[in-house]
Amino acid sequence: MASPVQMQENIGQPHEGEGQGQFIRVIVADTQAIFRAGLRKIFAVEDDVRVVGQAETLSQSFSAAKKFSADVMLFEAALAPNPPEAVADLLRQNPGLRLVVVTAEPDQELTLELLRRGAFGVVSREVEPELLVDCLRRVSQGEAWLDHRGMQWVLDAYRTQGSRAASARTKVQLTPKETMIVSCVTQGMKNKEIAQRVGTTEQVVKNYLRKVYDKLGVADRLELALYCLNNRGSEVPAKPAPPASASPTNGAAVPVAASTPENIS
């Protein structure tokens, strides 16, 4: 039986003439041994790419991310029942790791959600080897990677949200607490963290978010972030206004603003 987390023999052994830190360290996490073997062969002929570890289950992926010092993980979406949640958890536990998710087939909703959760790239299992290598190089430098279809999905989502925002801008009424929760979301905070900041429970935060989604005409956190980016008119307060100046029943009109584009993912 294969060991749960495997290391390649050339870890830390650069080719002749190479210096330390001049190659991209990659973890390959995939359910299929033949796919992992194929990737190792592809990367073996590249002077600047090294496979430092591999995994074949979700738990092994977490172990590999913790055990090996890597720049990028190629993570098969099929490893997890909820790929976006797995991506978020991996990145929360390994902040310096960049994830490129490999999907079985193009999926618009999955792609957008993976990006929102922090994935740097999404590629199809049928991606050409040279494109995959280019993807790794760009992601290792901090660039996002999507194919043309994925880019179109992101643009379409942005444009759709922009048109919704334009029509709803003058009608939006958010309470101070709703405003604070939106601010927390655009900062990349999870529901548990928001609950601690606001002083309530995760379920209450979820209830507030549903109300905010309905008010702004958005479907999820990604569309909320896109809405915020498209409405940078004024700052969202870092904390809710004190009860003396505003009551829960008298919300102020808020063209919600995002903090930075990086918080989308």
The letter for the amino acid at 147 is: D
Do 192 and 93 reside in the same domain of the chain?
A: no
More confident residue, 160 or 142: 142
- What's the CATH code of the domain at 90? 3.40.50.2300
For 19-28, 145-154, 173-182, 250-259, which range has the lowest pLDDT when averaged over its residues?
A: 250-259
Asked if residue 160 has pLDDT above 60, the reply is yes
- pLDDT at residue number 213: 85
Do 116 and 178 reside in the same domain of the chain?
A: no
Percent of the chain scoring above 90 in pLDDT:
41
The letter for the amino acid at 28 is: V
Q: Look-up: residue for tokens 């990677």?
A: 145
Comparing C-alpha atoms, which of 185, 154, 155 is closest to residue 258?
185
- What's the CATH code of the domain at 174? 1.10.10.10
Q: What is the mean pLDDT of the chain?
A: 78
Angle at 261 (CA atoms; ends 176, 71), nearest 5 degrees: 125
198 lies in which domain range? 168-264
> And the tokens for 244?
């003396």
Split at pLDDT 50, 70, 90, the class of 236 is very low
Q: Is residue 129 part of a domain?
A: yes
Do 119 and 86 reside in the same domain of the chain?
A: yes
To 10 degrees, the CA torsion angle through 179, 185, 188, 189?
Answer: 90
- Is the pTM higher than 0.85? no
